[in-house]
Amino acid sequence: MTALPGHDDAWREWHAAIGSARMHHAWMLVGPRGIGKGAFARLAAAQLVAEPGARQPSVEMHPDILIPEHPPENKDEAKKREDGQDYRRKRSIPIDEIRTVQHRLTTRPTLGSRRVVILDPADDLEKNAANALLKSLEEPPVGTFFLLVTHRPGRLLPTIRSRCRMLRFAPLTDAEVDRVLRETAPQADAAARAAAVAAAKGSPGAALEFVMQDLGALHALMLQLAAEGDDHFALRGALAEELGTRPDRERQQATIDLACAVVSAGLGQDRRRDARAIAAHGELIKLSGQLPTYNFDPGLVAMEIGALLASLAMPRETA
């Protein structure tokens, strides 16, 4: 059906919608981070704008596929982009990006009769940007479709959610995740792939991050913290040292995702541990949501993650 692994149910629903007389104009692609929603959105957009017999450019270069981006963090970073260098991006999608898209929507599509706007992830929209997007969702131009990729749909405005048709994405199987790793990270040995697949919990993006960020040592420390606790803070200190003194946001986010996987593993085996695991998982999700907004000290982030993992090994408190 497609080169993208998994998500056959989502593809069936999508293709049925395209073939129907009335295609809904706004879709929410909902599921855990890193399972392929963004790639799905781009392939789906290419299908929407395709015209019989007309050659289409790549998604990133297509004039009728609009993808608002996280712009450079400041003027210095903008200069780096102009010079073709790597640059730091803002943590959110500002209203100017949405206004630029809306200006394009006042014109006709360039190559055909349809145009697609992809928000990836829509979770990163600033408040003013979300309100501006809502106006376009309420009165969409003819032939315009919106694909909102979201890891946490609860962060979106209820009025945005109510105007979208939801398309859910489930985690992939271990075999599908391993296939992605074999294709995208052939340098990883069998042991690294196995550890990445186990830690990813069905997310090929998380598995790839595990391999590319070399999270094997972090994973081992996390397992030890969850099993033994950390009465003397030694393991938490080692976790902070392994994370690094100046990790980028991607490495910090990958570390939190990995900790979530460690916490979730083994659920259902012991009710007392389950209660602690659920509480720790909730705190990790909260920390993950705060990470793009607050400039946390990496050492403190590591200590917090270590404390939550160590709580799994603590005996039940008595009254």
Q: 278 in helix, strand or coil?
A: helix
- Report whether 118 contacts 147 (CB < 8 A): yes
Please check whether residues 26 and 145 belong to one and the same domain: yes
Q: Are residue 159 and residue 27 in the same domain, yes or no?
A: yes
Distance CA 294, CA 305 (A): 16
State the pLDDT at residue 314: 65
| Residue 200 counted as domain residue | no
Strand order in the sheet with 115-119: 65-66, 115-119, 144-150, 26-30, 165-168
Which of 139, 168, 197 is the endpoint of a domain? 168
Residues 55, 149: one domain?
yes
**Does residue 307 lie within any of the structural domains?**
yes
Number of domains in the chain: 2
Judge if 71 and 124 occupy the same domain.
yes
Q: Are 19 and 155 found together in one domain? A: yes
pLDDT at 128: 96
- The range of the structural domain enclosing residue 277 comes to 213-313
Domain assignment of residue 198, yes or no:
no
Residue 3: predicted pLDDT: 57
Instruction: Tell me which DSSP letter residue 317 carries.
Output: P
Residue 87's CB is within 10 A of a number of other CB atoms, namely 17
Residue 90, in any domain of the structure: yes
144 shares its domain with 13 = yes
Question: pTM for this one?
Answer: 0.80
* Confidence (pLDDT) at 318: 45
143 and 44 in a common domain: yes
pLDDT truncated to tens, each residue of the chain (319 aa)? Answer: 445 678 999 999 999 999 888 899 999 999 988 999 999 999 999 999 999 888 899 999 999 999 999 999 889 999 999 998 888 888 899 999 999 999 999 999 999 999 999 999 999 999 999 999 999 999 999 999 999 999 989 989 999 999 999 999 999 999 999 999 999 999 988 888 888 898 888 999 889 988 998 888 999 999 999 999 999 999 999 999 999 998 988 889 889 988 998 998 878 878 888 999 999 999 998 998 888 778 889 999 999 999 999 999 866 454 4
- Per-residue pLDDT at 1: 40
pLDDT of residue 19: 85
Of residues 3, 29, 33, the one with CA closest to residue 17: 29
Q: Is residue 174 part of a domain?
A: no
3-state helix, strand, coil in the chain (%, to 5): 55, 10, 35
